[in-house]
């Protein structure tokens, strides 16, 4: 498991023009943001762990490498890319890595799709799409929006894990 970069994040947002004289409202907002950031990072780590499991099952090395990059992108967008006060946009590289065509893997070079169980493709797409939305939460109500997205990311990850346990045939 990688060390979270949350401790290095600037958590104070200049979007709050009115502060309570004792700073209580600002401190409460800061605590809510910090809790939401940690929750998002935990959900991203769990999703990345599942995607690494998918990567480890691949017979084609290229599919495995691609899924490992996806896992790293999940960790990055659920932690280091959520920066209060930023523009909330992903880099082109992260957008490309988390695009829905992740389920095709490196099929353009291998000639085959990644080895995924029935029912894993949709959760994989959902995990990538939900995680890609995390950084944009800095433009709205960060704690509330991150909580919703973290819940959905956990649900999609759980669905992907459950799909691997379904009987085949």
pLDDT, position 106 = 86
DSSP state of 139: G
pTM of the model: 0.83
Average pLDDT, consecutive stretches of 10 residues, N- to C-terminus, the chain (169 residues):
45 41 78 95 98 96 96 97 92 95 89 92 97 96 96 98 79
Q: Where are the domains of the chain?
A: 44-165
pLDDT, position 17 = 42
Q: How far is the first Cα of the chain from the last one, in angstroms, to the nearest whole number?
A: 34
Name the token pair of 152: 């959905």
């Amino acid at each position: 498991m990688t060390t979270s970069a949350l401790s290095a994040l600037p958590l104070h947002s200049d979007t709050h023009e009115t502060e309570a004289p004792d700073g209580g409202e600002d401190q409460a907002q800061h605590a809510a943001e910090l809790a939401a950031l940690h929750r998002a990072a935990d959900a991203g780590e769990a999703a990345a762990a599942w995607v690494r499991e998918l990567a480890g099952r691949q017979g084609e090395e290229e599919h495995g490498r691609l899924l490992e990059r996806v896992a790293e992108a999940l960790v990055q967008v659920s932690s280091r890319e959520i920066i209060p006060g930023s523009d909330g946009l992903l880099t082109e590289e992260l957008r490309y890595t988390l695009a829905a065509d992740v389920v095709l893997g490196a099929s353009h070079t291998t000639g085959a799709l990644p080895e995924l169980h029935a029912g894993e493709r949709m959760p994989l797409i959902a995990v990538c799409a939900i995680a890609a939305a995390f950084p944009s939460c800095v433009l709205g109500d960060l704690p509330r929006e991150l909580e919703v997205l973290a819940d959905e990311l956990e649900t999609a990850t759980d669905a992907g894990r459950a799909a691997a346990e379904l009987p085949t045939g």
